[in-house]
Amino acid sequence: MNNIKNVVYRFSFSKLACYSPTITLIPGQSSLSSPMSYRRSQDFYISSMIQFNCDGLLSTSTKWTIKNCTSISCSFEIILNEKVMTTYSELYILSRTLDYGVYQLTLTVTMIDSPNLKSSSSVYVRITATGITANLVQLGTSMITRGDQQDLLLDPGTFSVDPDEDTFDATKWKYTYYCRIYALYNFPNIQGILLSIDDSTIDPYNPSCLSNRL
């Protein structure tokens, strides 16, 4: 008769050490009271360095969220268009995507197999106005030659450029014109306050360049 032996195998299981990831955003030196500043006409880019504090290989997910801020808090999350990819470790914001104001950009990294192991890090940015380019004539020419019997049309509402918008909205601006005889006089002024071409006040030291004011 064959001897039958019972063999007992003992296995030792040890749980892999795993902690929440560590996130470093670049650039990252910002706060709600001191945000980084970008013009609305600029693209800008936030990258990250993520350190995974686990002994084994685990799947992770990354997600960017953007909130609009007041002077004291950031609570209103905004929805971006599909051109902004928010599931990568870096965030690329195209020009004219965000309106003027302060925003909190937050990257959250989550361990998929252990959702309680997650970390977040934020940067703050301020979107500012670029400033328009005022063009009095087409192509922004700075020197125009006209005969004294020719009309001259200045039309900044048509030819000016607003880099923050697709088109220049002429109705949003007030237009005031000043004129001087170049290289001979300063702009007409009274105690340093410039006189527009439709102001009837006369500066005796700096005559107007318009014939009906001489």
What are the pLDDT digits (tens) for 23-82? 999 998 899 999 999 999 999 999 999 998 887 667 889 999 999 999 999 989 999 888
Q: What is the mean pLDDT of residues 99-124?
A: 93
CATH number of 20-128: 2.60.40.10
CB 92 within 8 A of CB 43: yes
Task: Give CA separation, 35 vs 1, 54, 67, in Å.
Answer: 85, 33, 13
pLDDT of residue 161: 94
Structure tokens, 157: 């509402």
pLDDT of residue 13: 38
Q: What is the pLDDT of the chain when averaged over all its residues? A: 87
What are the pLDDT digits (tens) for 144-177? 887 778 888 899 999 999 999 999 999 999 999 9
Nearest Cα residue to 121 out of 206, 33, 62? 62
Q: Return phi, psi of residue 158, to 5°.
A: -95, -40
The residue assigned the tokens 């306050």 is: 193
Residue 178 pLDDT level (bands cut at 50, 70, 90):
very high
**Domain limits of the chain?**
20-128
What are the pLDDT digits (tens) for 135-144? 998 877 777 8
How far out from the chain centre does Cα 18 lie? 37
Residue 211 pLDDT level (bands cut at 50, 70, 90):
low
Q: What is the mean pLDDT of residues 101-122?
A: 93
Model confidence at 114: pLDDT above 90: no
SS3 annotation, the chain? CCCCCCCCCCCCCCCCCEEEEEEEEECCCCCCCCCEEEECCCCEEEEEEEEEEECCCCCEEEEEEEEEECCCCEEEECCCCCCCCCCCCCEEECCCCCCCEEEEEEEEEEECCEEEEEEEEEEEEEEECCCCECCCCHHHCCCCCCCCCCCCCCCHHHHCECCCCCCCCHHHCCCCCCCCCCCCCCCCEECCEECCCCCCCCCCCCCCCCHHHC
pLDDT of residue 214: 43
Predicted structure pTM score: 0.76
pLDDT of residue 23: 95
